[in-house]
Amino acid sequence: MSGLTIEQKENIQSLAGAFLTVSQKAAVAAYPWIGKGNKNEADGAGTEAMRNEMNCINMNAVIVIGEGEMDEAPMLYIGERLGVGNGPDVDIAVDPVEGTTLVSKGQDNSLAVIAVAEKGTLLHAPDMYMEKIAVGPKAKGCIDITASLTENMKAVAKALGKDISELTVMMQDRPRHDYLIKQVFEVGAKVRLFSDVDITGAIATAIEELDVDILVGTGGAPEGVIAAVALKCLGGDFQARLVPETEEETARCIKMGLVNPSAVLTMDQIVKSNDCFFVATGITDGLLLKGVHKKETDKVSTHSFVATMNHSHFIEARH
């Protein structure tokens, strides 16, 4: 779906390099706050750096997933317009410091992340829980979030040419996932638990060397949209279902255009365009990326991951 010309499409993809700089600057800005016990300062530093850099890009952008509503967040709030004001029209989903608690405690797996897509094509996901299941390219088309994890594992194992006991299933280490862990153990497969940041786990399913076959579980809906963009670029698959826990959350879904809040959302419903890309830079070391590290007196190194349609690469840089 798109009314864009070929030239406009190329312009959106060409923004990926500029957004790499955005995520690098956000990660470097958050770096001094690693292990300092102040997640708000870390988040504020990353947010300010990210916003300043995005306002220099030749684009007409709107934040659809960000730091919150305008009355909750002074910068990168939902609906905020960014960029020079000309160039491609795009939607942006962003988390300047994904894993603020991880940064404040000096723990692994925090990232600066951005997903960009053609205007009007990203799901405006409210800040609530979302059930998710993600797989890499070889298992695309084999998942069904309405089925049990056991059934999904059987289908994915068949697609990957593995015995079900050889699968590695990644999920967040939370009591709400105990029933999923039990299903993994019952078929003799492996569980890989993590504390925070499920975006990394979703992407890991599409990178063979990381040995993750399925990501499953309930986590933040905004992060689900960002992960879906990454997996679309990487050729993987993603399904989700929002989990509104109160009448207020249900009403918010409806207000945002989600008439049936508990309906299954496919990857193509979450990201309605193929014209999208994903960028992340590590803040602390993690499964996908190394964090920011001090080098010479006045230099730091960054490690980033960029995924455009059908192309992805890791980038190490010094600043």
Where is the binding site for substrate, in residues? 98-100, 129, 174-176, 196-198, 220
For residue 116, how many C-alpha atoms fall within 13 Å in the half-sphere facing its CB? Answer: 32
Cα–Cα distance measured from residue 141 to residue 159, given in angstroms and rounded to the nearest whole number: 9
Which residues make up each annotated binding site? 43, 67, 95, 98-100, 129, 174-176, 196-198, 220, 223
For residue 213, how many C-alpha atoms fall within 13 Å in the half-sphere facing its CB? Answer: 26
At 123 the three-state DSSP class reads: coil
Which residues make up each annotated binding site for Mn(2+)? 43, 67, 95, 98, 223
| Cβ-contact 283, 112 below 8 angstroms | yes
Structure tokens at 292: 């920011």
Strand residues in the chain grouped as ranges (E): 60-65, 81-82, 89-98, 111-118, 129-135, 168-172, 190-194, 214-220, 237-243, 264-266, 276-282, 293-294, 300-308, 311-318
Cα–Cα distance measured from residue 179 to residue 170, given in angstroms and rounded to the nearest whole number: 14
Cα–Cα distance measured from residue 181 to residue 189, given in angstroms and rounded to the nearest whole number: 10
Q: If you search the block for the tokens 């723990």, which residue do you land on?
A: 107
Cα–Cα distance measured from residue 240 to residue 66, given in angstroms and rounded to the nearest whole number: 19
